[in-house]
């Protein structure tokens, strides 16, 4: 399978042989498993203090043989544990049970819960290959909601000079020449303020994902493209199913640099020589 390499001005420069990953089968079920496994690994475990709501003197005395002041049964009071903080037990405040002021939660998160979902290394690698192959299918890219010109050929491979761009306007000009700059406008147009308390917790806006830039060395292009709405920049060695298929939906609009494609092919050749899969 071959792809055309386009220049920064949108002209066809040459053709390049694509790595085997672009010929993989697009398994959406496997991609979803990998994305959920990656996202679950970033969850921070949370649970309350073991004695939260119970670190008090509250006690329930149901013995009938106790004096009135020392039992909480058959005295015209709710049969609930009370704190021994006054003259007698009956004068105390109800505490230590769910549903009362300062009481514990009924069913809080448990410290023993395992949040991370496991996935085999080979399955995770195959999911990444499937997500890579999905970026070469225009119908999948279109179904994700991305906007691009009708004459755009997938996969989009751009000249390696793209990695050295240091101005945001140069990156936008390159995208405009290719015919995909309207997708950034779509992401900016759909940015909106979140409804609810998330606004107070660092999630003020709901944003859309736009173009993904895959480069061999992302140091320079990261600074020039990071302020574009919805655009993500990632190094080839950091690729995974989560960045290639946000929301577990394959077919993200992806721009590959020629150097990244060559590096991927070189890695495949090295694995073949060593006998690794």
DSSP 19-30: PGGGGS---HHH
Would you say 231 and 208 are in contact if contact means Cβ atoms under 8 Å apart?
A: no
Question: Of 273, 276, 275, 212, which Cα lies nearest the Cα of 244?
Answer: 212
277 residues of the chain, pLDDT tens digit each: 899 999 999 999 999 999 999 999 999 999 999 999 999 999 999 999 989 999 999 999 999 898 888 888 988 888 999 988 766 777 888 999 999 999 999 999 999 999 999 999 999 999 999 999 999 999 999 999 999 999 999 999 999 999 999 999 999 999 999 999 999 999 999 999 999 999 999 999 999 999 999 999 988 999 999 999 999 999 999 999 999 999 999 999 999 999 999 999 988 877 777 666 6
Q: Which structure tokens are listed for 213?
A: 């830039």
As assigned by CATH, the class of the 2-24+121-274 domain is alpha beta
Element (H, E) at 114: none
Q: What share of the chain is helix, strand, coil (3-state, %, to 5)?
A: 40, 10, 50
Helices (H) and strands (E) in the chain, counts: 8, 8
Dihedral pair phi/psi, residue 80, rounded to 5°: -135, 155
Where in the chain are the domains? Answer: 2-24+121-274, 44-114
Helix (H, G, I), strand (E, B) or coil at 183: helix
Q: Which structure tokens are listed for 51?
A: 């004695």
Would you say 253 and 8 are in contact if contact means Cβ atoms under 8 Å apart?
A: no
Q: What is the C-alpha separation between 221 and 215, in angstroms, rounded?
A: 8
How many C-beta atoms lie closer than 10 Å to residue 71's C-beta?
Answer: 19
Q: Which structure tokens are listed for 198?
A: 């998330």
| Separation in Å, CA 27 to CA 116, 130, 131, 195, 271 | 22, 6, 8, 34, 23
Measure the CA angle with vertex 118, ends 123 and 245; round to 5°.
Answer: 55
Q: What is the C-alpha separation between 54 and 136, in angstroms, rounded?
A: 58
Q: What is the C-alpha separation between 6 and 155, in angstroms, rounded?
A: 11
| Separation in Å, CA 57 to CA 60, 90, 128 | 10, 13, 56
């Amino acid at each position: 399978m071959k792809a055309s390499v386009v220049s920064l001005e949108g002209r066809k420069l040459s053709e390049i042989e694509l790595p085997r990953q672009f010929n993989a089968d697009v398994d959406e079920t496997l991609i979803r498993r990998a994305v959920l496994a990656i996202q679950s690994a970033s969850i921070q475990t949370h649970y309350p203090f073991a004695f939260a709501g119970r670190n008090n003197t509250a006690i329930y005395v149901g013995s009938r043989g106790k004096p009135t002041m020392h039992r909480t049964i058959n005295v015209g009071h709710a049969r609930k544990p009370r704190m021994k903080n006054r003259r007698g037990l009956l004068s105390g405040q109800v505490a230590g049970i769910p549903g009362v002021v300062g009481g514990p939660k009924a069913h809080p998160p448990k410290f023993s819960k395992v949040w991370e979902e496991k996935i085999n290394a080979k399955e995770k690698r195959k999911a990444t290959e499937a997500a890579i192959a999905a970026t070469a299918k225009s119908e999948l890219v279109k179904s994700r909601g991305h906007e691009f010109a009708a004459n755009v050929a997938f996969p989009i491979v751009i000249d390696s000079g793209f990695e050295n761009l240091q101005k945001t306007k140069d990156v936008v000009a390159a995208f405009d020449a290719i015919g995909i700059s309207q997708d950034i406008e779509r992401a900016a147009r759909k940015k909106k303020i979140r409804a609810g308390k998330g606004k107070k917790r660092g999630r003020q806006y709901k944003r859309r994902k736009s173009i993904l830039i895959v480069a061999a060395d992302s140091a320079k292009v990261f600074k020039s493209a990071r302020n574009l709405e919805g655009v993500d920049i990632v190094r080839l060695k950091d690729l995974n199913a989560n960045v290639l298929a946000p929301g577990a939906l394959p077919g993200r609009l992806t721009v590959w640099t020629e150097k990244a494609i060559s590096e991927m092919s070189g890695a495949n050749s090295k694995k073949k020589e060593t006998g690794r899969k």
